[in-house]
Amino acid sequence: MTKLSVNINKIATLRNSRGGNTPNVVRFAEDVQRFGAEGVTIHPRPDERHITYQDIYDLKPVVYTEYNIEGNPIKKFMDIVLEIKPTQVTLVPDAEDAITSNAGWDTIKHKDFLIDIIKEFQAKGIRTSIFVDPDLRQIEGAKATGTDRIELYTESFAHEYSLGNESAILPYSKCAELANSIGLGVNAGHDLSLDNIKFFKDNIPGLLEVSIGHALISESLYLGIENVVQMYLHKLS
Ligand SMILES: CC(=O)[C@@H](O)[C@H](O)COP(=O)(O)O
Ligand SMILES: NCC(=O)COP(=O)(O)O
């Protein structure tokens, strides 16, 4: 079964554009879970341009499904995540000035760093996942870090698929097969959408979770959030 985790960064972006508390990210997290989402994802960034550090605390008591916090493990991020103890932390090597996440970890180069950080989270009972490109060497490198899961960075699949290039799924399928065979759980995310999610899921063995934000919120403008969550659940079933 593949769980749908809704990334609510974009709700915070909209709220922050005016100050105040509309739309309310806590209420939104409650609602997407009521509509069937099996997780809530946030990706706080150091400039707090969407999710704020305060949001991380405010969401904790209302997320009764899987709480997934993504980000670069700088000190402030680590301290809050270790205190909050979400279900899962997803480590992403994004630069402070990146518009959005744009690369996976080099799990070979950063092996020792990742081993230490992952141990710290796991010692607090937090499941770990690391964001990786669909490259077999990086999957083997991920295994050596001790992480529980990987999150496959799906931007290149989403882009190529939108151009009609279905073979772009192949490196992802191979990486998922390898991950399954060496005991790494497989998550995926970035630019997944109603257009590509079924094809992606059908070709990725053992896909445990997808986190989806940008497209899902955009689709909701036309179709409504309850409807859109149901549509994703249907395509993932
Ligand atoms: C890791 C990943 O792919 C997502 O978390 C994505 O980066 C969302 O972050 P933004 O909403 O800041 O683009
Ligand atoms: N981990 C990916 C995520 O949370 C959402 O990415 P996107 O759907 O906003 O591209």
Closest Cα partner for 139 from 186, 200, 91? 186
pLDDT averaged over every residue in the chain = 97
SS percent in the chain: helix, strand, coil, step 5: 45, 15, 35
CB atoms under 10 Å from CB of 181, counted, come to 11
Q: Assess whether 177 carries a catalytic annotation.
A: no
What is the distance of C-alpha 200 from the center of its chain?
Answer: 15
Q: Is there an atom of ligand 1 within 6 Å of 71 CB?
A: no
45 by Cβ neighbours in 10 Å (0-12 / 13-18 / 19+) ranks as buried
Nearest residue (by CA) to ligand 1, atom 12, is 100
pLDDT tens digits, one per residue of 89-133: 999 998 888 889 889 999 999 999 999 999 999 999 999 999 999
Quick check: helix, strand or coil at residue 160?
helix
pLDDT of residue 234: 98
Which burial class, exposed, middle or buried, applies to 2 when counting CB atoms under 10 A from its CB (0-12, 13-18, 19+)? buried
d(CA 28, CA 25): 5
Distance 182 CA to ligand 1 centre (A): 27
Based on the residue annotation, tell me whether 70 is a catalytic residue of this protein. yes
Q: Ligand 1, atom 3: nearest CA belongs to which residue?
A: 190
Of the candidates 186, 188, 187, 190, the one whose C-alpha atom is nearest the C-alpha of residue 215 is 190
Cα three-residue angle 81-95-191, rounded to 5 degrees = 85
Instruction: Tell me the pLDDT tens digit for each residue of 182-224.
Output: 999 999 999 999 999 999 999 999 999 999 999 999 999 999 9
Has residue 86 got a pLDDT over 90?
Answer: yes
Ligand 2, residue 90: give the atom nearest the CA. 1
Evaluate: CB of 215 within 6 angstroms of ligand 2: yes
* Nearest-ligand number for the alpha carbon of 40: 2
Whether 131 is in the pocket of ligand 1, judged by its Cβ within 6 Å, is yes
Which residue's alpha carbon is at the smallest distance from atom 1 of ligand 2? 189
Tokens linked to 206: 């053992």
Give the mean pLDDT of 22-41. Answer: 98
Residue 43 annotated as catalytic: yes
Domain boundary assignment for the chain: 3-236
Task: Specify the CATH class of 3-236 in words.
Answer: alpha beta
Query: pLDDT for 148-162, tens place per residue?
Result: 999 999 999 999 999
Collapsing DSSP to helix, strand or coil, 153 comes out as strand
Residue 69: strand pairing partners: 42, 89
Q: φ and ψ at 92, to 5 degrees?
A: -130, 130
Burial class (CB in 10 A: 0-12, 13-18, 19+), 54: exposed
Q: Which residue has the tokens 């999150």?
A: 151
Closest CA to 158 of 129, 128, 196: 196
Is residue 214 a contact partner of residue 223, using CB atoms and an 8 Å limit?
no
The predicted model scores a pTM of 0.97
